[in-house]
Chain A
């Protein structure tokens, strides 16, 4: 449960940054990258602590964050 609270904090901070600074595209870009990176790190730490960290899992979190980043960039930079 504490793991999910930290994830919730990361995602809320990312959401707030993207919405509150909607007029600053460069800041939004940085926030999007930071949120996606933090998500991958959250996955690594979470699975490491659960002793089930595998390369496939890392690849999955990376792919999820890359897709999220592509979607956000396509809207922020459009």
Chain B
């Protein structure tokens, strides 16, 4: 009986709660906000105590990324890119470098540029570009996110690029298991002469023009400690996805909690709207319909937002 009274007090307009569900009072709403913040704090602290529990389980095939990229190019009347194993190896090295040095950017904290990886693996380029993505559950959503961003789309639909290499790596980034997709675009220096000379392009900012690399120079270049070089003559096997096991996705768990909070609020607000109208209760308070519209918009955003980030 006490539980029923408590539930009525929390969720239904009643004399005990001044004809407004306690959860809809400013104090009740702020308690929910506090709960949501506490959950985020726990998610941030959790990896330090229990490593390799949180993460984004993904099964992304590099060849699928290439196929989807070429599909987008074909839709725009462009020639397909050829998958290049040297570029793929360089892309994997870039991904591993991000995990080893714990950064999520085009440039490493020590200043290592994406083009260093091209050069280290002996890929002499006329044009070069890089797209990065993380925390996507499949190749399609990653490519769609790149296409939604004008700068990344520009790379995918750049007619100057002839080859592509995809690196999919999985590992610990800032305490959370993460799947990173590195997409390297390139055009070899010995490609068709019809291609006009131009600067190498990066996804969001203009990068310095890559210096021409001579054969002698390539032979002298020593790879950075975190990069495992391979001979440009020896194709590397296609990168394989590391099995991730059962991981708790921070994004999905946050999404589920958000859905639960907003769902309960919408239900309580709807009950409030009906009860107040039926009983013709006069009270001082905000407009229930307006709150329903506001939380309805938030519910729509929660349902549409997907995990994943591109740079």
Contact = CB atoms under 8 A, between A and B. Distances in A.
Nearest to B146: A23
Residue of A52, A57, A65 with most partner-chain B CB within 10 A: A57
Interface in A38-73: 39, 42-43, 46-47, 52, 54, 56-57, 59-68, 70-72
Contacts of A42: 290
Given A22-B145, A72-B301, A75-B302, A66 B29 contact: yes
Interface stretch (B9-17, B93-101, B230-238, B248-256): B248-256
Nearest to A8: B293
The listed residue with most B CB atoms (<10 A of its CB), out of A19, A23, A24, A63, is A23
A74 B297 contact: no
B70 to A, nearest CB: 21
B294 A60 contact: no
Task: Tell me if A's interface is mostly helix, strand, loop or mixed.
Answer: helix
B302 A71 contact: yes
Q: Which of B25, B284, B297, B304 has the most CB of A within 10 A?
A: B297
A11 B286 contact: no
A57 B286 contact: yes
A19 B310 CA distance: 15
Interface string B267-304: 00000000000000000111101110111111011101
Report which residue of B250, B258, B294, B310 has the largest number of chain A beta carbons within 10 angstroms of its beta carbon. B294
B148 A22 contact: yes
Nearest to A52: B284
B284 A63 contact: no
B149 A72 contact: no
A22 B284 CA distance: 38
Contacts of A76: 305
Contacts of A65: 294
A5 to B, nearest CB: 11
A70 B255 contact: no
Contacts of B251: 75, 78
A78 B29 contact: no
B74 interface: no
B15 to A, nearest CB: 18
B31 to A, nearest CB: 9
Interface string B26-68: 1101101100110110010000000000000000000000000
Contact of B36 (A22, A35, A63, A74): A74
B54 to A, nearest CB: 11
Contacts of B250: 78
22 contacts: A4-B290, A8-B293, A22-B306, A23-B149, A24-B149, A35-B297, A39-B294, A46-B290, A64-B294, A66-B29, A66-B30, A67-B261, A70-B36, A70-B37, A71-B258, A71-B298, A74-B37, A74-B39, A75-B251, A75-B258, A75-B301, A78-B254
Instruction: Please list the 8 inter-chain residue pairs (A to B) with the smallest Cβ-Cβ separation, ordered nearest first.
Output: A63-B26, A63-B29, A23-B149, A11-B297, A60-B286, A59-B26, A67-B33, A70-B33
Interface of A: 4, 7-8, 11-12, 14-15, 18-19, 22-25, 35, 39, 42-43, 46-47, 52, 54, 56-57, 59-68, 70-72, 74-76, 78
Given A35-B297, A74-B39, A75-B305, 19 more contacts: A11-B294, A15-B300, A18-B305, A22-B145, A25-B309, A39-B290, A57-B284, A60-B29, A67-B36, A70-B37, A71-B258, A71-B261, A71-B302, A74-B36, A74-B254, A75-B254, A78-B250, A78-B251, A78-B307
